[in-house]
């Protein structure tokens, strides 16, 4: 029996999924697998594990596992469910790549999908689990897709062996045909249970015109208008990235400053008074044209009029707001404080947690978020959504593997998800910063991630599971044959798969080296480096470098535009400091040749030496959260290496001395062994077809040259041959993580 507090019990009863408990549990009893569909916020993630627990699915030593595509969700949902059930974290636990609190008493385990995939490698039948819930299946993350494919085989196998297991697939949007109408996946389609969400109507307002560039500015104006003129209720703004989020947060905080401790009830009534006044004098205030919107459902549209946000004379005039009005928006108005919070996945967890707490009295909550707020986290009390209609995604070039982040239009399904966030607690409004015509051109659904990215890591994992013919795997949506061939070729070249009898074969078996590589939780290129690392006592260095290469963005972004003179001076100072530190970390003499990877090694070493404190990171331009991740990953990789070759007995030394000259040479060769297909040669004088190619590098696969970034340790040296971690297209095609290699090493 679960002992829940009365408040929790009351909140639960409001969740739509609770009404379906009987139906869901009956379907679970009668079927090996089911699909549960329901609006975000209907209670799937927090409640379904509790249903299963109460029905005894975690009572005879086995446990309930739930996978999430995002780490944020795995951690925060385990906390939430523990709290709701009044159980300690030893019982309702989580495991993500770098950390976890799972114990032998764990009954409900939240984890990222990657973690479960690793567990399948250790125990294909997943004997510890009585039930697996694949959450957020609509996100179509690569690991989720693979897990569904694998579980479609594991579940029948378990049942045949008399160790029954249940599979629940949970999804937010309604397109589940890829799972249900897919004969290769499930011969008998699993039943779909739809959770009727008591979603309140959300009125959709389209802009008449679509700002192509400054949608952040547009979001600012819209948010200001909502805050000034519309009744209380939280605002959720969707932008595409961290920099945009911070920029908008800063502008909104300046416009409606909120100081702790100066808000009283008087402020609330002040805000109300202002709001009423705004209603009365609506003619003189900035307004949005009612005809500017197409409203859905139609009968909900009138609220705008009452709130005075309507009736702009001139269509699309949001962009044409007179300067005086724009000025007045920028002028600080502390009488109606706005409690502005950022939300994105790289944000520190304690900052992320703030969005779940009620805003200080007398303020209105405004969360400026990236896609994380679309389906994985439900923020309470949101009544207004402002949607820029875009999303930032990583794109890979199929042939070259070059990746770039691009901002593109989102899908209709995503835009509708975003709108839905406004209708959780009462009728709401969604302001789309684009026209209905533009919306009509959006694709209906977002593509499955697996079709958009290289798959060498997945292919290696599958080979390690003895799935030699990866083409025959029951993918919900299969990757292209092209991508599979490229992956297989790379793995053969790394020595992870046996040479094929003929080229282009797609069923090369795994080698012992490949098995060792598959046991490391990093991509195959880096796994190869780890596998070679024991030579010349290089392992501790290889582990540190691989950990650092795997974690995103370890340096603070100092290239962001400054909003004030003061900030500009500060940024210049910090940039100078960072340049100095990079130079220090790059070392001297032979070490310089290891280039950017030496800088990473130096940064990791120095940070660890200083105890990995927030202050050290802050002072030296390192992102604290990244450094903590690197530290955890170093520990994890060290354990993984010891498991594969116990004789090396490697350990994490917080006082690691820099590598010797000899070791640096060795490290460079190890790096080349992993990044052999990422080789580039400086454009030779005779090939200088275009002056723009000066200082460029040629790679085997690309027609145009790539470049060493000014921030790189090798920017001044320009060695003839280099290997790089990846090519990112920003203002130019830049190589990241560059290291020099000698001509005679190249096979």
What is Dmax (Cα atoms) for the chain? 81
Least Cβ distance, residue 25 to ligand ADP (angstroms): 17
Contact partner at residue 210 from Mg ion, ligand ADP, none, CB < 5 to 8 Å by partner kind: none
- CB burial of residue 615 (10 Å; 0-12, 13-18, 19+): exposed
CB atoms within 10 A of CB 715: 15
> Which alpha helices (DSSP H) does 466-509 contain, by range?
481-493
Q: Is 44 in the site for ligand ADP (CB under 6 A)?
A: yes
The item of ligand ADP, Mg ion, none sharing an interface with residue 223, based on CB under 5 to 8 Å by kind, is: none
Name which of residues 340 to 369 contact ligand ADP (CB under 6 A).
356
Q: Which residue has the tokens 């078996």?
A: 509
**Which residues, in sequence order, are CB contacts of 505 under 8 Å at separation 6+?**
488
15 binds ligand ADP (CB under 6 A): yes
Tell me: does residue 76 bind ligand ADP (CB under 6 A). Answer: yes
CB 483 within 8 A of CB 454: yes
Q: Which is nearer to ligand ADP, 69 or 540 (CB)?
A: 69
Which partner, ligand ADP, Mg ion, none, binds residue 76 by CB below 5 to 8 Å per kind?
ligand ADP
Pairing of strands 108-112, 63-68: parallel
Q: Count residues contacting Mg ion (CB under 5 A)? A: 1
Contact between 40 and ligand ADP by CB under 6 A: the answer reads yes
In 3D, which of 142, 144, 124, 139 has the Cα closest to residue 67? Answer: 144
Pick the closer one to ligand ADP by CB: 234 or 533: 234
Which of 20, 28, 34, 45 binds ligand ADP (CB under 6 A)? It is 45
The site partner of 495 among Mg ion, ligand ADP, none (C-beta below 5 to 8 Å per kind) is none
- In order of 365, 424, 709, the CA distances from 378 in angstroms are 14, 9, 40
Asked if residue 435 binds ligand ADP (CB under 6 A), the reply is no
Q: Does residue 382 sit in helix, strand or coil?
A: strand
Task: Give me 267's structure tokens.
Answer: 């402020």
CA distance 261 to 264: 8
Give me the residue label for tokens 């009572």.
59
Number of chain residues interacting with ligand ADP (CB under 6 A): 15
Q: Which residue's CB is nearer to ligand ADP, number 38 or number 533?
A: 38
Q: Which span (39-47, 56-64, 620-628, 711-719) binds ligand ADP, by CB under 6 A? A: 39-47
Q: Which SS3 state, helix, strand or coil, does residue 417 take? A: helix
Distance CA 360, CA 167 (A): 42
Stretch that binds ligand ADP, among 35-43, 205-213, 344-352, 660-668 (CB under 6 A): 35-43
Contact 552, 559 (CB under 8 A): no
Asked if 156 contacts 18 with a C-beta cutoff of 8 angstroms, the reply is no
Cis bond before residue 297 (omega within 30° of 0): yes
CB of 41 to Mg ion, least distance (A): 8
Nearer to ligand ADP, 40 or 638 (CB): 40
β-pairing, 192-195 vs 63-68, is: unpaired
Site for ligand ADP in 375-404 (CB under 6 A): 378, 380
Structure tokens at 636: 């994890």
The site partner of 380 among ligand ADP, Mg ion, none (C-beta below 5 to 8 Å per kind) is ligand ADP
Q: Is the distance from CB of 63 to CB of 128 less than 8 angstroms?
A: yes
Residue 43 binding ligand ADP, by CB under 6 A: yes
Locate 487 and state its tokens: 């992956």
Contact between 461 and Mg ion by CB under 5 A: the answer reads no
Is the CA virtual torsion 334, 335, 341, 342 positive or negative? negative
Counting contacts by CB under 6 A, is residue 620 touching ligand ADP? no
40/240 with CB nearer ligand ADP: 40
Of 43-51, 308-316, 625-633, 665-673, the segment contacting ligand ADP by CB under 6 A is 43-51
Look at residue 194 and give the partner it binds from ligand ADP, Mg ion, none, a contact being a CB closer than 5 to 8 Å depending on partner kind. none
- How many helices (H) and strands (E) would you count in the chain? 25, 20
Q: How far apart are the first and last CA of the chain?
A: 65
50 binds Mg ion (CB under 5 A): no
Binding residue for ligand ADP (CB under 6 A) from 18, 25, 54, 80? 80
Exactly one of 24, 35, 42, 176 binds ligand ADP (CB under 6 A); that residue is 42
Residue pair 43/218 in contact by the 8 Å Cβ criterion: no
User: How near is the Cβ of 197 to ligand ADP at its closest, in Å?
Assistant: 8
* CA 134 to chain CA mean position, Å: 17
Q: Are strands 733-741 and 721-729 parallel, antiparallel or unpaired?
A: antiparallel
The CB-of-687 to Mg ion minimum distance in angstroms stands at 54
Q: Is 158 in the site for ligand ADP (CB under 6 A)?
A: no
Q: Is 45 in the site for Mg ion (CB under 5 A)?
A: yes
Whole-angstrom distance, CA of residue 659 vs CA of residue 667: 9
- The smaller minimum CB distance to ligand ADP, of residues 378 and 739, is found at 378
Check residue 497 and report its DSSP letter.
B
Place of tokens 């390192």: 622
Pick 358 or 614: Cβ nearer ligand ADP: 358
Residue 417 touching Mg ion (CB under 5 A) = no
Shortest Cβ distance from residue 105 to Mg ion (Å)? 25
State the nearest-atom distance from the C-beta of 189 to ligand ADP, in Å.
22
Residue 330 is encoded by which pair of tokens? Answer: 């920028």
Residues 47-66 close enough to bind ligand ADP by CB under 6 A: 47
Nearer to ligand ADP, 47 or 410 (CB): 47
**Interface of this chain with ligand ADP, residues 567 to 586, rule: CB under 6 A:** none
Q: CB of residue 44 vs Mg ion: minimum separation in angstroms? A: 5
132/229 with CB nearer ligand ADP = 132
Question: Interface with ligand ADP by CB under 6 A: which residues?
Answer: 15, 38, 40-47, 76, 80, 356, 378, 380
What is the contact surface with Mg ion in residues (CB under 5 A)?
A: 45
């Amino acid at each position: 029996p679960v002992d829940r507090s009365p408040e929790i019990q009351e909140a639960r009863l409001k969740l739509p999924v609770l009404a379906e408990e009987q139906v869901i549990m009956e379907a679970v009893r009668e079927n090996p697998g089911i699909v549960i569909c329901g609006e975000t916020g209907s209670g799937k993630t927090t409640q379904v594990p509790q249903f299963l627990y109460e029905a005894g699915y975690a009572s005879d030593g086995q446990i309930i596992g739930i996978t999430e595509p995002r780490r944020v969700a795995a951690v925060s949902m385990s906390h939430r469910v523990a709290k709701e059930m009044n159980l300690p974290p030893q019982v309702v636990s989580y495991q993500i790549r770098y950390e976890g609190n799972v114990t032998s008493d764990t009954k409900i385990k939240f984890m990222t999908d990657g973690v479960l995939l690793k567990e399948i490698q250790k125990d294909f039948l997943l004997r510890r689990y009585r039930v697996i819930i694949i959450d957020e299946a609509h996100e179509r993350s690569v690991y989720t897709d693979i897990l569904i494919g694998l579980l479609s085989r594991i579940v029948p196998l378990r049942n045949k062996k008399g160790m029954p297991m249940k599979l629940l697939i949970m999804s937010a949007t309604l397109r589940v045909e890829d799972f249900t109408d897919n004969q290769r996946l499930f011969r008998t389609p699993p039943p779909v249970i739809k959770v009727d969400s008591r979603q309140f109507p959300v009125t959709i307002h389209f802009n008449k015109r679509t700002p192509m560039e400054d949608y952040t500015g547009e979001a600012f104006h819209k948010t200001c208008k909502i805050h000034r003129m519309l009744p209380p209720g939280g605002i959720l703004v969707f932008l595409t990235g961290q920099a945009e989020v911070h920029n908008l947060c800063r502008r909104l905080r300046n416009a409606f400053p909120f100081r702790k401790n100066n808000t009283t009830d008087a402020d609330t009534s002040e805000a109300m008074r202002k709001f009423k006044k705004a209603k009365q004098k609506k003619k003189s205030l900035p307004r949005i044209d009612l005809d500017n919107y197409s409203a859905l459902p139609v009968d909900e549209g009138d609220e705008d009029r009452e709130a005075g946000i309507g009736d702009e004379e001139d269509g699309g005039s949001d962009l044409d707001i007179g300067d005086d009005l724009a000025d007045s928006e920028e002028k600080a108005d502390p009488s109606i404080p706005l409690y502005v919070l950022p939300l994105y996945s790289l944000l520190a967890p304690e900052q992320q947690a703030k969005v779940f707490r009620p805003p200080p009295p007398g303020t209105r909550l405004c969360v400026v978020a990236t896609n994380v707020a679309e389906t994985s986290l439900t923020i309470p009390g949101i009544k207004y959504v402002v949607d820029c209609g875009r999303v930032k995604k990583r794109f890979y070039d199929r042939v070259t593997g070059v990746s770039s982040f691009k901002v593109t239009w989102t899908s209709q399904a995503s835009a509708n998800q975003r709108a839905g966030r406004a209708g959780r607690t009462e009728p709401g409004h969604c302001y789309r910063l684009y026209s209905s015509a533009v919306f009509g051109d959006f694709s209906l659904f977002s593509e499955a991630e697996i079709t958009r990215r290289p798959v060498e890591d997945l292919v290696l994992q599958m080979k390690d599971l003895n799935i030699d013919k990866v083409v025959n795997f029951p993918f919900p949506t299969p990757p292209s044959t092209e991508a599979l061939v490229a992956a297989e070729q790379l793995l053969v070249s790394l020595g992870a798969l046996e040479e094929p009898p003929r080229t282009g074969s797609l069923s090369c078996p795994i080698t012992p080296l490949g098995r060792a590589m598959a046991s490391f939780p990093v991509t195959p290129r880096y796994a190869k480096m780890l596998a070679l690392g024991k030579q010349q006592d290089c392992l501790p260095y290889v582990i540190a470098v691989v950990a650092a290469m795997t974690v995103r963005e370890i340096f603070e972004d100092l290239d962001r535009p400054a909003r004030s003179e003061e900030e500009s001076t500060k940024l210049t100072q910090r940039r100078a400091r960072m340049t100095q530190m990079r130079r220090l970390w790059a070392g001297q003499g032979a070490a310089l040749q290891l280039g950017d990877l030496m800088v990473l090694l130096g940064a990791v070493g120095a940070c660890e030496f200083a105890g990995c404190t927030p202050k050290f990171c802050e002072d030296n331009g390192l992102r604290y959260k990244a450094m903590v991740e690197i530290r955890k990953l170093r520990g994890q990789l060290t354990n993984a290496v010891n498991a594969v070759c116990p004789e090396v007995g490697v350990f994490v030394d917080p006082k690691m001395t820099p590598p010797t000259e000899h070791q640096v040479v060795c490290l460079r060769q190890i790096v080349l062994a992993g990044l052999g297909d990422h080789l580039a040669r400086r454009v030779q004088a005779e090939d200088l077809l275009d002056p723009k190619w000066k200082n460029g590098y040629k790679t085997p696969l690309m027609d145009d040259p790539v470049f060493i970034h000014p921030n790189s340790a090798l920017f001044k040296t320009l060695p003839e041959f280099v290997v790089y971690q990846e090519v990112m297209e920003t203002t130019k095609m830049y190589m990241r993580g560059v290291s020099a290699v000698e001509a005679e090493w190249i096979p």
